[in-house]
Structure 1
Amino acid sequence: MTPNQTAAADPAAKFDPSRAGEYEKQSRIALAGYDACHELSACMLAATLGAGRAAEVLVVGAGGTAQEIVCAARLEPAWRFTAVDPSAPMLDLAMARVAQAGLAERTHAVPGVVEDLPATPRFDAATLIGVLHHLPGDEAKRDILRAIAARLKPGAPLILAGNYRAYASEPLLLAAWGERWRMQGASADEVQAKLGKILQGADPPHSEAAVQALLAEAGFAAPQRFFGSLFWGAWLARKQGS
């Protein structure tokens, strides 16, 4: 099996130790507004849950910078976090960032997938940031959203953020993405290589309507988009039920 075939079969496989090491720098280049998105995600959760209240937050795909944990913990000192990621190198990197921020006692790491978590106790909120477009096909996307919904309290908020729209369908945005890399010092050949890797290695929902449909099918209601940057979007939705 080639590396590309391995990554297609297991999306976590492409986040090996070499990619984990460069992730923090590369993610901030790939997403203009990386820090703003994470800060606003924390603000949206706090505004929904109520400032100053204790909460248990599920962070799915937590590996890498742990920025969602660091931002939210800084805003809300009574929140605790369960960090889940199937890539051991990426989760190790995230927990190192958590420890550096003095948040180790407030964060529980779970190597694996959402389905590895017990069905109870249920969480007050969840985040799924930068994950969905790495999962091939709608069924895998629905599966992870359903697994998250099953572990949330009724009415609990979910922050969903990631790329949406088929990359090739938006040539101007794709070209601007390439210019973003060039702005950071990449050569023309390096830009083409990066864009080619993006086109082959991800499967984002093809529209905002597709995102909304996936959320509805998984049991989430009233998604509200609060951030956008080229192909990237971020939404807050609530688990249905009472």
Structure 2
Amino acid sequence: MTQHNPSPFANPAAVASYAVETPRKVPGLADLHRMVTLLLAESATGVAHMLVVGAGGGLELKAMAEARPDWRFTGVDPSPAMLNLAREAVLPFADRVDLVTGTVDQASAGPFDGATCLLVLHFLDRTERLRTLQDIRRRLKPGATIVVVHHSPPVDDAARWMERLAAFGDRADFDQAKARASGRMLAERLPLLAPADEEELLREAGFLDVALFYAAFSLRGWVAAAGAL
């Protein structure tokens, strides 16, 4: 689930453990994928073509492909190693999934019936984030749904919220000092935006009816509709 910054997944060990570690670190990941599918289906009834930005790992691709046999997918990710994981994850649905190595501007023009961008945008600074959202918007049919999920804690207490999520993800041994250090490091390294700024960015990129649907410690998820170009 990377976009312009594949470096967190350049380590072979990190890539190898992604499918196991991510469900541990993201509260309710399976239910989140179900919510994402339901939200997309509100504007995409029947046969549809979905754009999955940051498709590496393939977890959301697999979940949506299993739930919706009438959908096909184009997934894009800059990390070849992560796309290899996705390719394995969606093997039973390979005839409905096209995987592209690169960023969203290298995906086909569409138009797509919906898009997801999960656990991606917190790696990008505001300028890159806006450009990515605009590139997605240009590839969507008017009224199509976008769902985004990423880190967006209150900026005045970001490290504390990142610490809480780190503690949640440490299933082997609860270590508050370790969680605190991890939270502080993530808050310093990631170009985090406040929730209100995230919503404004979506509107600036051309999306309407922006609404929060998911919140878990430092993570937030929004759903919006593509406005007319």
Taking structure 1 as the reference length, the TM-score comes to: 0.85
Q: Give the alignment partner of residue 183 of structure 2, picking from 180, 195, 213.
A: 195
Partner of 1:72: 64
Q: Give the alignment partner of residue 211 of structure 1, picking from 198, 201, 214.
A: 198
> 2:104 & 2:163 partners in 1: Cα distance?
35
Task: Decide whether the 8 Å contact of 2:160 with 2:183 is kept in 1.
Answer: no
Q: Give the alignment partner of residue 128 of structure 1, picking from 117, 130, 136.
A: 117
CA offset digits 1:97-130 (Å, max 9, x no partner): 111xx111110010001111233x3111110010
2:47 paired with 1:54? yes
Partner of 1:12: 6
Task: Decide whether the 8 Å contact of 1:182 with 1:188 is kept in 2.
Answer: no
Deviation at 1:26, TM superposition (A): 2.4
* One-letter identity of the residue aligned with 2:62: V
Task: Decide whether the 8 Å contact of 1:126 with 1:158 is kept in 2.
Answer: yes
Partner of 2:40: 45
Query: Which structure carries more strand by proportion?
Result: 2
Task: Decide whether the 8 Å contact of 1:168 with 1:174 is kept in 2.
Answer: no
Q: 1:42 to 1:184 in 2, by over 3 A?
A: farther
Q: How does 1:1-242 map to 2 (within 5 A)?
A: 11-16=5-10, 17-50=12-45, 53-64=46-57, 66-99=58-91, 102-119=92-109, 121-135=110-124, 137-165=125-153, 169-170=157-158, 172-185=160-173, 187=175, 190-207=178-195, 209-241=196-228
| RMSD over equivalenced CA pairs, Å | 2.1
CA offset digits 1:37-92 (Å, max 9, x no partner): 11110111113322xx000000000001x222122122211100001001111111
Q: 1:75 to 1:156 in 2, by over 3 A?
A: same
Q: 1:193 to 1:21 in 2, by over 3 A?
A: farther
Q: 1:161 to 1:175 in 2, by over 3 A?
A: closer
Deviation at 1:166, TM superposition (A): 5.1
Number of equivalences: 225
Q: 1:202 to 1:175 in 2, by over 3 A?
A: closer
Deviation at 1:187, TM superposition (A): 4.2
